């Protein structure tokens, strides 16, 4: 059965969901996005995603297409219309279609932002068996632009990174710049050494993960030590364990980095405990 998706005020069958070739999202990657998880039919961390969307739009001088209450209503309507129990809601805002191509931003008064949302059903999303095995990662050079704190649709390099990982038989790639890890292709990266959780500090160099913020909060509440700083691949390979966080993978253990197994090569205790806490707390707070 065809999904119902949302495009600029209309709920449409996915086959009919189209945008102009002049949309700046298509011609110039002039757009931002968010992905919100759904568990048991409820939205996980919607407020966090809405706040980050607002910030991304603001950093790019892009107009919000609807207010956040309406955005929540659209999310819920899509969950309902598509019978999503577990899954994802993808949202994208672009600077709209001025009807022709020009580097100069169009006037938002005459060119409204484009808003697109669609669902992906992922039954058992929180019970991903991969979390029990953990995943391997390779390291690759971070060639992305300099404003990774803005969640833009410039995803070609992360996509290339996933392909490099796939060709190497790995689950993902960690991006390395100036000798230290920035983050994964679509997640934040962590190592654990002697009980201390180490993850890159916030800056323009990495995405300010909604799941990252929540996981670090829960870690601190559970009396775990957290240090926010950069680390190298060599330090990561010498760590006791490692993991990544993202809105759709939650907390995912990493058991091998560039062919080097961490510890006994099984998911670490800290990662598994944080995954449990994160899922428990997120389900409680879901709306």
User: Which tokens belong to 75?
Assistant: 């999310």
- Among this protein's residues, is 167 annotated catalytic? no
Using CB under 8 A as the binding rule, whether residue 17 contacts its own copies is answered as yes
What are the backbone angles phi and psi of residue 216, rounded to the nearest 5°? -65, -35
- For the beta carbon of residue 230, count every other beta carbon within 10 angstroms: 18
- For the beta carbon of residue 180, count every other beta carbon within 10 angstroms: 17
The 112-151 contact track toward its own copies, x by CB under 8 A, reads: ----x-x-x--------------------x-xxxxx----
176 with 231: CB under 8 angstroms? Answer: no
Dihedral of the alpha carbons of 15, 21, 25, 28, in degrees to the nearest 10 = 150
Nearer to its own copies, 36 or 92 (CB): 92
Dist CA 169 CA 246 (whole Å) = 21
The 70-99 contact track toward its own copies, x by CB under 8 A, reads: --------------------x-x-x----x
Which residue of the set 18, 151, 193, 266 is catalytic? 151
Element (H, E) at 94: strand 87-94
Region of 65-73, 156-164, 210-218, 242-250 interacting with its own copies (CB under 8 A)? 156-164
CB of 60 to its own copies, least distance (A): 8
The 183-222 contact track toward its own copies, x by CB under 8 A, reads: --xx------------------------------------
What are the backbone angles phi and psi of residue 85, rounded to the nearest 5°? -90, -60
- Strands of 64-113 (E only): list them: 87-94
Residues 24-43 that bind its own copies (CB under 8 A): 25-31, 33
Where on the chain is the footprint of its own copies (CB under 8 A)? 5, 7, 14, 17-23, 25-31, 33, 60-61, 90, 92, 94, 99-101, 103-105, 116, 118, 120, 141, 143-147, 152-160, 162-163, 166, 185-186
């Amino acid at each position: 059965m065809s999904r119902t998706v949302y495009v600029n005020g209309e709920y449409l069958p996915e086959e009919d969901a189209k945008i102009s070739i002049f949309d700046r999202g298509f011609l110039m990657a002039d757009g931002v996005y968010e992905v919100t998880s759904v568990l048991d039919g409820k939205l996980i961390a919607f407020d966090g995603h809405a706040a980050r969307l607002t910030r991304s739009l603001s950093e790019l001088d892009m107009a919000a297409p609807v207010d956040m209450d309406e955005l929540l209503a659209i999310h819920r309507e899509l969950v309902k219309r598509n019978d999503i129990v577990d899954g994802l809601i993808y949202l994208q805002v672009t600077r709209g279609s001025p009807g022709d191509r020009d580097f100069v931003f169009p006037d938002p008064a005459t060119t409204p932002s484009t808003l697109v949302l669609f669902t992906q059903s992922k039954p058992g999303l929180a019970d991903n068996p991969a979390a029990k095995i953990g995943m391997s990662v390779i390291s690759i050079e971070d060639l992305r632009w300099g404003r990774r704190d803005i969640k833009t649709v410039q995803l070609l390099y992360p996509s290339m990174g996933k392909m490099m990982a796939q060709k190497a038989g790995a689950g993902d790639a960690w991006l390395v710049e100036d000798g230290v890890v920035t983050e994964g292709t679509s997640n934040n990266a962590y190592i654990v050494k002697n009980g201390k959780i180490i993850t890159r500090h916030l800056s323009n160099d990495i995405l300010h993960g909604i799941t990252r913020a929540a996981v670090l909060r829960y870690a601190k509440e559970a009396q775990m030590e957290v240090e926010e700083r950069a680390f190298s691949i060599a330090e990561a390979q010498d760590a006791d364990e490692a993991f990544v966080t993202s809105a759709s993978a939650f907390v995912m253990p990493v058991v091998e980095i560039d062919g080097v197994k961490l510890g006994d090569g099984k998911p670490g205790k800290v990662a598994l405990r944080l995954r449990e806490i994160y899922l428990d707390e997120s389900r409680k707070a879901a709306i």
